[in-house]
Structure formats: structure tokens, C-alpha cells
Structure 1
Amino acid sequence: MRIHITDLQAGDQISQDIFNAYGLHVLSSGAILNESDLSRLYQHRIDYVDIEQRVSPSFEASETAADLFPPELRYKFEDAVAGCELLFKQALVEGKISEEDAKESFQPLVRHFQEERDVVSLMLSMHTQDEYTYQHSVQVGMLSFYMAKWLEWSEEDQIRAGMAGFLHDIGKCRIPEEILKKSGRLTDAEFEEIKKHSAHSYQILKDSYSDEEIAVAALQHHERRDGTGYPERLHDQAIMPMSRVIAIADIYSAMSSDRVYQEKRDLLCVLKELYRLSFNELDAEMTLTFINRMIPNFIGKRAQLSDGRWGTIIMTHPTDPFRPLIHVDDKFIDLAVEHGLEIDRIST
């Protein structure tokens, strides 16, 4: 069937080759459209395309991101969360964990997810306050793995970064549950107790792994470039690269998840906050790499503008990633030009 590109959806299959007005081949017959393909069609000013008849129901706003992924992938995520909980309990009782158990809990998830295009939406769609600590650990592990990949680290270091992110908070097993799950503001004494978790993580992982960098990454993941972090108030290059990666993943996951004392924040707002932190606290190059690789995940997503209207993100700008091109009703709004409008929230 022939439809206008504004009616296309990720997952539609092209039934005829697509060429632009200059005869340049854009997409081949049989291609399954993804978000970047949709953006490419807009860039080439394609108006109509022919697609195969849709056999699945169209996307409804009530669907969650988790509904768009195969059950097997959700099960792998849930298995990793359950495995993380067992590791926390093992660390509390024995003071260390089994390296093999950690691998069995986390690495199957990496193998299944590393080819998924929108893994972030799936991870962030599945979190509950009761399991926050464990789900957060899995998310940080996955995000750290991807960051190492985007930074072009070796495959071995990608896995190490992912594992370090997965285990970075294991020292929280030694923090009283009434403090971890407190819904109100922490007292100064309670906050000092919470801050001990990075040192606890270091000791547990040092006693569990021959690779001490995994333990050091856990120790340093709350350090900041300007010396405002903890536990040692380190500056700049004194903070290990793996620790800097985990710091970014940790903040992103924490701010975009529901917690007992804080509702999750909009994903685009979280990236803006990371950008702000990159000037003084976080590694600037790593943070910008993370933002630039995350932003394309918003193409095809529904966004609400500051005037209340809803639209679809069509294309992001390389020089101003937070002000994309939005398709609203029957027109396009370029937020890089329309400075009076902003995105209030993203629907995932």
C-alpha cells in the first residue's frame, strides 16, 4: 500500500525501491524500517512510499516500551535482576561473591542485547521501587557496556566495564534497608552511612576478583572531576576511566528511574542534566559521546511541546541535539529555529 511518510512506523516493510528526486537510491525493496531510516526519508524529501500490508496492530499510545520487545529479551533482563539480588545476598553473608555466578547473571544479557537498537527504552520500561537497587545495577551494567563500545574500547574491556557497572553498588548489601528505602529526606548521619557503600563495594570486589580495576571502579564511581565527589575527593585524571564511565551510567539510570523518594525524570531532561554536569563534574568527552549516541533513540518517539501539543521527533541536529525537528499535526517545527518552544516530555 502507498502511504505518506508521516504515517510510516518503525517495522514497516518497503515493497518497492525508493529513489530521491535526483535518482539517488535511498532504500531497497524489502527493507524493514527503523527510526534512522525514517529520518533518512525526511532528509531526502521523500513524500510517499510503498509498503507491505501491515499484519500487526498499529502502535497505541497506551503501549509501553516493554510491549515492543520480544518476551525472551524481557525474561533475560528479569533473570539478570534476580541474579543480582542473589549476588547481593551472597556478598552480605560471605563477604565476597562468586566471579562465575556474576558472569552467569550478567553476560547472557549482554549477548542477547548487544544487537538490539533501542535497548535503553526496554531497560527503562521495567523498574519497580521494590527492586530498584537490583534493576539499577543491571541498567548501569548495560549502559556501561554500551559506553565502552561507543568509546571503541576492546571487546574485553567492554565486558569488564559492563561487569564493573553491574557490580558497582554491591556494597549496598551492607547498608540498613530502612535507610536504602527511606521515603523522606536522609539525615546527615544517614547520608554518611549511604556514602560508605562505595568502600564496601570495593572491599567485596577486591576479595572476589583478581582484576582489581573492577573493585576500584566501584570505589570511585561517585568521584567527580572537580573534587566534589566521594570517598576520596579525587580530581580529573586521578579518577580511573572505567569509573568515569560508570559515573555517567549511574546518574542516567538513577535519574530516569522511579525511586521511593524521587519520581523518574524525563529522559531528555536527564541528558540535559548530564550535559550540564560535563562542564565540571563528569568526563566531558565521555558524556558527549553518551549523549550523541543516546539522542538518536528519540527519533520516532512522541514528544510534548511546552505549548501542550504532541508531535513526533523526526530528526535531531548534530550541533543542537536537544532541539530536534518535530512533526506536529500537518507541519514540521524546527526547535533549533523556534526558540520559544521546548520539549516538555518524551513518551516512551
Structure 2
Amino acid sequence: MSALFSPVQIGPISLGNRIAVSPMCQYVAQGGQATDWHLQHLAQLAMSGAGLVMLEATAVEPRGRITHGCLGLYSAETESALERVLRVARSMAAPGTRFGIQLNHAGRKASSRVPWLGGQHLSSGDVATEGEPWQAVAPSALPFGQFPAPAALEPGEMEGIARSFVASAQAAVRLGFDLVELHCAHGYLMHQFLSPLSNQRADNFGGSSSARQHWPLRVAERIRAALPASMAFGARISANEWTEGGLDVDHAVDFTRLLQSIGADYVCVSSGSVDAGTRIPFSPGFQVPFASRVRRETGIVTRTVGALTEPSQAEDIIASGQADVVALARAFLADPRWVWRAAEELGASTFYPPPYERAKGLRGSPDR
């Protein structure tokens, strides 16, 4: 039996297989609202047969968006637009498919152009094509690369953002998500608080590792408390900043244990820096060793991600106990039917929508 296609329990929910669609920013929302693009994007991924489909990083307030095109969940309008998309996706999903949402605040990486227009900070010259720039916020007034310096958050503002995370989590409950994930990686606000490279505060939220962890952990605790026992909760973390003096896998293990203590059911172990100049040694499975160590030392359910493309690679990761779940991103963009190919290559069974059942056995066989 294929290890990749075996079931797995994540806190209160079960997945029919160990394959997850990773959160993938689309940058085509309008005013934070999901559009027809999201409808087709999520619907095709929902019927892929993956055990878990994660929505893209979703902002908890307008200034927490990376770009004007980022998805949000902070108003009645954004909730209603997402409800429509989810309703269609669920109607087409494989039986037992679980849906999760990744809640995020971009912090000092906010107010950016979309990637295909350069990804730099918005300026007044971009108003006609993308929209007005806005003031970014961060733990300290330290700029991200060539971006303008953000405003350092006051404790009262931090409380407001924490309430926004809770409100978005409550909206996720109303929308019927199975899982909520807090984004603590990739140089966004929670990661900015955790990293000594971006957090140089002199109050109770900066300085030592435990002080830097304090606010992200409290936000995580409040999100967990806002969710019913039937929903799973976890976080995406950076296990290596690839920058001298930055966070490493020791910190990832420590922070994971703290997340476990407040009720986290899993972690998704990624990497990435708050430093705009960092060069990451991107290669197939390059983050798997980080996930493996976190899983080994904490016992928590662990998801791995990063340059995972081949079914045999994913099978080996699960069979060897390096992670409990594998998440794929670009592989699903290139081939939304990746799960079907994996099942055929590994000799496993998977879901085909009835109108598509005639495609069974044709993957990789152009002579048939």
C-alpha cells in the first residue's frame, strides 16, 4: 500500500491521503474579495483528490495585504465572496477533501506591486494601474530592502491586529473551513516579530527569543480559542532564514513546542528570511530535513513543502517518516491532476469525478 495514499489524523480531522495543495497567492482579488479566478482555481484543485486544499495567504485587515490583489477575510463583503467560491469548490470536491485557510498579515512587506509587475513597493505612480500605496507596519521601523521604513507598532495597535486575526478565524468557522493556519513564515508580520533581524524592540515584545515569540504565540493562542474543537489549528514556520544571525531549526523546534502547548495540531515547516537580499538554495526537497527534525524532536504532525514535484519523492518522504504530509504548489499549477498521476505511478486508488473516469490509466500513456 502506498504510504502517500494512507490516511492521517491532524488533531480532530482526518485526511484520506497525505497530499496537500499548498497555499498559493494568486494576486487577483478585488478589494480583498475572491473573484471568478478564485472560483475556477479552487474548484479544479478541489476535485484533484488531494486530502487537503489550502487557500492562499489571506489578510486579516486591508493594510495586512501584500498587494491590492491579495485575498482578505475582514469584512462582510470578503466573507460573502469567499462563501460563493467555497460553495462551488465543495460541490466538485473529492469525497472527504478538507479545506484550510492560511491567515496572514504582511507587515512591512505590504503595499507591494504584484509579482508580474516587479513586486516592488507601490508608489504614487502606480495608482492608475494598481491603486494607492499605504503605510506598512512592523515590530520595528526597519525597511524591507528598498521599501520605505514601516511604522513601528504600538502595543495598542498590536492588540487591534490580534483582534483582527480572531475575527478572521471566527469568519473561517462560519464559512465551514476544517482547518486554520497562522502564517509565521516568509518574512510576514508574525515572522518579523520572531526574527532578531527585523525585531529590535526594547519592550516586552523584543530582545530575547522568548520575548520575540511572546506576541505571535499569544495571537496563536487566541485563534485556537476562537475555533471549535472540531477544527484543526496549526502554523507555517520558517526553520532557516539563510542569513547570518537569523532564525534556525533550533528555534523552529522550540517555537513548535510552544505552539503545541497552546493546542496547535500541526506545523508546516518552510524556510525563508525577513532579509530582502537573502538567496535561498532552492532544490528538490531542500526543506525536508528541517521538517524531519521538527517531527522527530516534538512528535507533532508535520507538513513539508518546497520543490516537491515527483510522486516517488513524495512517497519516500512519507514512507521514511520524514514528514506526515507533503504540500505541493507549483506542481499543482503545472498539473492540477497531479494526484491522479501519483496514484497510477504508485499503484494506489484515488477519486475521479464520474465525467472524468474515462481518463483512468491514460496518465503518461500517449499510445492509449
- TM above 0.5, yes or no, is no
Which structure carries more helix by proportion? 1
TM-score (norm: length of structure 2)? 0.30
Greater length-normalized contact order (CA 8 Å, ≥ 6 residues apart): 2
TM-score (norm: length of structure 1)? 0.31
Which structure carries more strand by proportion? 2
